[in-house]
Amino acid sequence: MNRSEKALIFKDINEITSSKQVILPMAIVPIVLTVLIPLAVVIGCSFIGNNSDILRQIGPLIKKLPSEFASYNPAQIVLKVVMDYFFPSYFLIIPIMCSGVIGASSFVGEKEHKTLETLLYTPISMEQLLRAKILGVFIPSYIITLISFIAFGIVINVGGFIHFGGLIFPNIKWMLIILWIAPAINLLSLIFTVLVSAKSKTFQEAQQVSGLLVLPVILLLVGQITGALMISNLTMLIAGAVLLILDYLLITRLASKFIPEKLLLT
């Protein structure tokens, strides 16, 4: 990575951290998903009885759970199910959401500020430009994901002490999610978002299109909740590797399609 790439990355990070239009959505959504909702779950588990409607609603999923769940009481079952089968999908939504908000402003922001032409004629290749744009968004969005992970862990472990008498978070599944799957998903969504941003005329247009990436995650969440899709640690390990390989191929090959003249005309 040369000085031009580093300068572009730092420039994008500075613009991101100084924009309320970007910072507010990135702060509000993670707080709701990783603090307020888990806190409501922890409190709600204290009021779950043996004949709770919640247990009946997640009955198909409970039947497919590991044998260790047989020794849990209803409150413990709900807390562990929510932790391991509901919230992992939320942690895939957070990096996608962050990349949608930040990445959508990547090239569009340059167009709106009339700085794209100057940027394209700097001594940097299109592959380096694309890589710098992606990293300039990846770094803050992944930091937000890590902060959300820590906040979520604190709330869940409060529930762990109440209902299990000790720490229950993180486990191997969550370490794979935060250190393997989330970065791979983040990069993939950023590549797609930056590509969309380069062809969009306004920030809102780019952001709306990038929001479509959340749909597969929602389908994954539904599959987990209904018990139709049970993902093992090995599956996540393989999926993360496949996604990272795909990320690398897209970054290296799609840069050739970024032609300065076309970017200026879109």
Looking at residue 167, its pLDDT comes to 95
Looking at residue 155, its pLDDT comes to 96
Looking at residue 258, its pLDDT comes to 65
Q: Name the more confident of 253 and 207.
A: 253
pLDDT tens by residue, 112-126: 666 666 666 677 777
SS (H, E, C) 5-64: HHHHHHHHHHHHHCCHHHHHHHHHHHHHHHHHHHHHHHHHHCCCCCCCHHHHHCHHHHCC
Q: Name the more confident of 113 and 72.
A: 72
What does the block give as tokens for 43? Answer: 């409190």
Look up the pTM and report it: 0.86
Looking at residue 231, its pLDDT comes to 82
Q: 68 by DSSP, 3-state: which? A: helix
The answer to whether residue 266 scores a pLDDT higher than 70 is no
DSSP 79-106: HHHIIIIIHHHHHHHHHHHHHHHHHTHH
Contact 206, 200 (CB under 8 A): yes
Looking at residue 43, its pLDDT comes to 93
pLDDT tens by residue, 76-105: 999 999 999 889 888 888 888 887 777 766
In the predicted model, what is the mean pLDDT of residues 227-236? Answer: 80
